[in-house]
């Protein structure tokens, strides 16, 4: 194992030489694999190389499609980038199930994003308050060149408030700033505004009489958006008469009883809630990735929201009243359909085109629906057949690939497992039998 300085300045081939020599010498196939995943179209490869630093190859995920989603009366085929074998099948099953029951209905509950200037001040809070009220217009003036284009699109800075946090941390204050970023995820816009606010705060403080006379000035610690966006919120819902949820009334009632209890368990039991929400994120992340959005930001914000009442809890909820079954999700999703990767990555552009070039609000709706559908499919399986049956069926190909099954072996295995339960050992046994 070796150290290096100036790695980023090496050419791509030099980087590959260095990494294979120093860290992969025990792995003879390394260079072949790295190069196998290069795109033959050099311009396209260069585009991917430049998305990030020190690129040596491309890391593929399957891009699949879950069709038959009726959302607010419109039909969608949803692009999903995901490696987990059963996710797209589950989404497709759920979309089809709800297709003849009115489909999915959605509502945007808010689109506000948040950022902070975190700063310290050890002087009198009243003096800071007076100062803030006096200089507040200057924050808007100093960011006019940044906000001009965003305002043309209907967005901009919504508000700037001074928050005293000294009860939680000595000398800690914030500018709590809210933004509307329309169709952009808006991270660059928000952070540029916040950094300007920070500069304005310090510059104005230096010439503010009561601070200069005391020699006590605010000190900016950092300026950064928050990925916690509880006011950038979307709701998606399905509903139908209980009687439509089983072949007989008795079966339907049993299903609804068990399904509802499963959701309530996820509402009060964090161990279950985490897995429950993980299943929701199977759907959400797959759409977020396919549409070139930041899945780490979405994940962080969603889980913080799930814990907002002090205990981690389910993102989905259920209600049964007067014979009507209602199942819904409320989830914060700060997504963009312009800027970032959306105009750069050809598959992201294709995914957005597949969704008819949605606004960010439409993408919030679609993504929340993918999460709700995923959760419906997972809980449906859990309270009826269990998940392993469907899961292992989808996983069969992965096991066959792992054992380098031939085309003939695959065909025979798929046929055999139409009527037999797929387990890892059952697949191995079958392969051994075929090979002996």
> With respect to ligand MEV, which residue has the nearer C-beta, 92 or 196?
92
Residue 302 in contact with ligand MEV, rule: CB under 6 A: no
Nearest partner of 164 among 174, 156, 154, judged by Cα: 174
> With respect to ligand MEV, which residue has the nearer C-beta, 139 or 328?
328
Instruction: Out of 12, 31, 72, 84, pick the active-site residue.
Output: 84
Residue 378 in contact with ligand MEV, rule: CB under 6 A: yes
> With respect to ligand MEV, which residue has the nearer C-beta, 65 or 382?
382
Among 22, 129, 278, 424, binds ligand MEV (CB under 6 A): 278
Instruction: Out of 22, 35, 278, 433, pick the active-site residue.
Output: 278
Shortest CB 280 distance to ligand MEV, Å: 8
> With respect to ligand MEV, which residue has the nearer C-beta, 220 or 379?
379
H-type helices in 50-124, by residue range? 87-99
Are 220 and 201 within 8 A, CB to CB? yes
3-class SS at 219? strand
Using CB under 6 A as the binding rule, the residues of this chain from 83 to 142 that contact ligand MEV are 84
Shortest CB 87 distance to ligand MEV, Å: 7
Residue 341 token pair: 């990767």
Among 276, 317, 345, 365, binds ligand MEV (CB under 6 A): 276
Nearest partner of 179 among 229, 222, 233, judged by Cα: 229
User: For tokens 């999460």, what's the residue?
Assistant: 371
Show the binding pattern over residues 318-347: x = contacts ligand MEV (CB under 6 A), - = does not.
------------------------------
> With respect to ligand MEV, which residue has the nearer C-beta, 12 or 272?
272
Residue 221 in contact with ligand MEV, rule: CB under 6 A: no
Answer yes or no: 214 catalytic: no
Are 236 and 363 within 8 A, CB to CB? no
Phi-psi sector, 188: left (phi>0), alpha (psi -120 to 50), beta: alpha
Query: Which residue number has the CB closest to ligand MEV?
Result: 279
Shortest CB 372 distance to ligand MEV, Å: 12
Among 224, 387, 394, 434, binds ligand MEV (CB under 6 A): 387
Among 134, 275, 406, 421, binds ligand MEV (CB under 6 A): 275
3-class SS at 53? coil
* Alpha carbons 396 and 193: distance in angstroms, whole number: 51
Answer yes or no: 424 catalytic: no
Shortest CB 325 distance to ligand MEV, Å: 18
Half-sphere exposure of 376 (CA within 13 A, CB side): 30
Instruction: Out of 391, 393, 409, 412, pick the active-site residue.
Output: 391
Are 225 and 157 within 8 A, CB to CB? no
The helix-helix angle for 187-206 and 125-142 (nearest 10°) equals 130
* Alpha carbons 367 and 362: distance in angstroms, whole number: 9
For 243, phi and psi rounded to 5 degrees? -60, -20
User: For tokens 């309530």, what's the residue?
Assistant: 264
> With respect to ligand MEV, which residue has the nearer C-beta, 358 or 390?
390
DSSP H or E stretch at residue 327? strand 324-332
Instruction: Out of 70, 180, 195, 294, pick the active-site residue.
Output: 294
Residue 371 in contact with ligand MEV, rule: CB under 6 A: no
User: Residue 79: beta bridge partners?
Assistant: 65
Answer yes or no: 152 catalytic: no
* Alpha carbons 97 and 264: distance in angstroms, whole number: 22
Answer yes or no: 391 catalytic: yes
Among 106, 200, 282, 337, binds ligand MEV (CB under 6 A): 282
Residue 385 in contact with ligand MEV, rule: CB under 6 A: no
Using CB under 6 A as the binding rule, the residues of this chain from 175 to 204 that contact ligand MEV are none
Residue 269 in contact with ligand MEV, rule: CB under 6 A: no
> With respect to ligand MEV, which residue has the nearer C-beta, 275 or 319?
275
Contact partners, residue 257, CB within 8 Å, separation at least 6: none
DSSP H or E stretch at residue 108? strand 105-108
> Where in the sequence numbering do the catalytic residues fall?
84, 278, 294, 391
**Residues of the shown chain interacting with ligand MEV in the complex, contacts defined by CB under 6 A:** 84, 275-276, 278-279, 282, 378-379, 382, 387
């Amino acid at each position: 194992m070796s150290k290096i300085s100036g790695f980023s300045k090496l050419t791509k081939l030099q980087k590959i030489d260095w990494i294979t020599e120093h860290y992969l010498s025990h792995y003879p196939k390394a260079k072949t694999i790295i190069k196998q995943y290069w795109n033959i179209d050099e311009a396209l490869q260069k585009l991917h190389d430049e998305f990030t630093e020190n690129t040596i190859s491309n890391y593929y995920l399957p891009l699949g499609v879950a069709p038959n989603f009726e959302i607010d009366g419109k039909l969608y085929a949803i692009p999903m980038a995901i490696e987990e074998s059963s996710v797209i099948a589950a989404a497709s099953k759920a979309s089809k199930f709800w297709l003849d029951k009115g489909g999915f209905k959605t509502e945007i509950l808010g689109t506000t994003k948040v950022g902070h200037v975190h700063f310290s001040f050890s002087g009198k809070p009243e003096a800071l308050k007076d100062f803030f009220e006096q200089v507040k217009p200057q924050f808007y003036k100093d960011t006019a060149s940044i906000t001009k284009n965003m305002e043309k699109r209907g967005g901009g800075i919504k508000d700037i408030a001074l928050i005293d946090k000294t009860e939680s941390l000595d000398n800690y204050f914030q500018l709590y700033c809210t933004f509307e970023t329309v169709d952009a995820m808006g991270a660059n816009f928000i952070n540029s505004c916040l950094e300007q606010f920070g500069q304005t705060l310090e510059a104005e403080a230096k010439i503010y009489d009561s601070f200069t006379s005391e020699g006590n000035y605010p000190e900016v610690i950092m300026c950064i958006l928050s990925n916690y966006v509880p006011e950038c919120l979307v709701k998606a819902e399905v509903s139908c008469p209980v009687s439509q949820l089983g072949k007989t009334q008795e079966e339907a009632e049993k299903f609804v009883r068990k399904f509802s209890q499963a959701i309530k368990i996820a509402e009060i039991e964090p161990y279950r809630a985490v897995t429950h929400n993980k299943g929701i994120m199977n759907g959400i992340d797959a759409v977020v990735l396919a549409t070139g959005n930041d899945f780490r930001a979405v994940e962080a914000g969603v889980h913080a929201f799930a814990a907002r009442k002090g205990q981690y809890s389910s993102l989905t909820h259920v209600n049964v009243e007067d014979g009507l079954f209602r199942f819904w999700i409320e989830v914060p999703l700060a997504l963009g359909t312009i800027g970032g990767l959306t105009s750069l990555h050809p598959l992201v552009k294709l995914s957005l085109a597949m969704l008819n070039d949605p606004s960010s609000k439409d993408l919030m709706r679609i993504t929340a629906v993918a999460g709700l559908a995923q959760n419906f499919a997972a809980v449906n399986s859990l309270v009826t057949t269990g998940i392993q049956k469907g899961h292992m069926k989808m996983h069969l190909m992965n096991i066959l690939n792992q054992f380098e099954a031939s085309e003939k072996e695959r065909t025979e295995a798929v046929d055999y497992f139409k009527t037999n339960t797929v387990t890892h050992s059952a697949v191995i046994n079958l392969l051994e039998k075929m090979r002996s």
